Amino acid sequence: MTGGSWPGFDLPNLTAIDVHVHVQIDGSGRTASPPALSQAMAAYFKSSHGPRTVDQTAEYFRERRIGAVVFTVDATTNLGHAPNSVDDLVEGARRNADVLIPFGSVDPLQGEAAVEEARRQAIELGVRGFKFHPTVQAFDPSSPEFTPLFAAIEELGLPIIVHTGQTGAGAGVPGGWGFRLSLSNPMLLDDVAARHPDLQIVMAHPSVPWQDEALSVATHKANAWIDLSGWSPKYFAPSLVRAARTYLKHKVLFGTDFPALTPERWLGDFEGLELDADIRELILKQNAVRLLGLTE
């Protein structure tokens, strides 16, 4: 087991923990995605900001007294492009341990090499979880082919955050860059949760167009969670708001998908949901504290 609290994390002084933050460039200038794909995504999100390094990301969140789970996505095989360095990301997170918690990423299509790389990132680097994006990485998480990878992460005692639903990656271009949305149906993660009961699985984003499926998985599987990143809360389906207010209030997590969505925008619109203070505290901070094994 390699999980546990992240030394130096300034939990008492943080008002919230954003569990879904992308770091898109490393110290060498290598970016998470091929330049053409990054440009297409920036156009889709109408973003005028360039990619931020891990230190720039830390400064941004520190100013707002928000902790952040940071990661990249390794889709080397499918994109023909190696992402920004996980080693660089973790080193930067250690420099900024008061506000950043690093997650790793491996390319599932690399088979046994991905399993070994996951172990390296956990044991040698000290990542506190892993990020997957089935649509961009072009893999079906329910396939038994990936059982050894998920079993290794389960054994390490670390959680995973897995993209679900529609994606801005490839959106608006012919063929959607070849990305298949069906690979991010949350029902595929129901299979993973059933096979790996000790693996904590965060279904990232309101899972448009499969919101009811995600709610069903999170309700049925004790090891399944939902993060609320990637969409303004004012666009949340009524069923998701109802679940967050009641029966899933202990399993729903604050996330922005930064830089696609800023904390200011998300939190401002979150106010409009008019949730009770105790539920707001669970969603914004305490559920993440429990998931990540943090302590005051």
CATH number at residue 272: 3.20.20.140
Has residue 38 got a pLDDT over 80? Answer: no
Q: pLDDT category, 283, cuts 50, 70, 90?
A: very high
1 in a structural domain: no
Task: Write out the two tokens for 243.
Answer: 């679940």
Q: Say if residue 25's pLDDT is above 90.
A: yes
- Residue 231: band (very low, low, confident or very high) from pLDDT cuts 50, 70, 90: very high
Q: What is the pLDDT, as a whole number, of residue 2?
A: 65
Which of 41-45, 58-62, 65-69, 146-150 has the lowest average pLDDT? Answer: 41-45
Does the residue 4 lie in any domain? no
Please check the confidence at residue 1 and state whether its pLDDT lies above 60: no
- Does 79 fall in a domain? yes
Q: Is the pLDDT score of 42 beyond 80?
A: no
What is the domain range of residue 40? 11-292
186: closest CA among 153, 162, 168? 162
Range in 25-39, 135-149, 158-172, 240-254 the model is least confident about: 25-39
Residue 69 lies in a domain: yes
Residue 90 has pLDDT above 80, yes or no: yes
Quote the Cα angle for 186-24-259, to 5°: 70
pLDDT confidence of residue 282? 98
- Number of domain units in the chain: 1
In a domain, 206, yes or no: yes
Residue whose C-alpha is closest to residue 138's, from 72, 189, 71, 78: 78
162 domain residue, yes or no: yes
- Structural tokens at position 273: 């949901």
pLDDT of residue 172: 83
Residue-level pLDDT at 49: 67
pLDDT tens digits for range 161-214:
999 999 988 788 889 888 999 999 999 999 999 999 999 999 999 999 999 999
pLDDT at position 4 is: 67
C-beta of residue 225 within 8 angstroms of C-beta of residue 197: no
pLDDT mean across residues, the chain = 94
Range 116-134 average pLDDT:
98
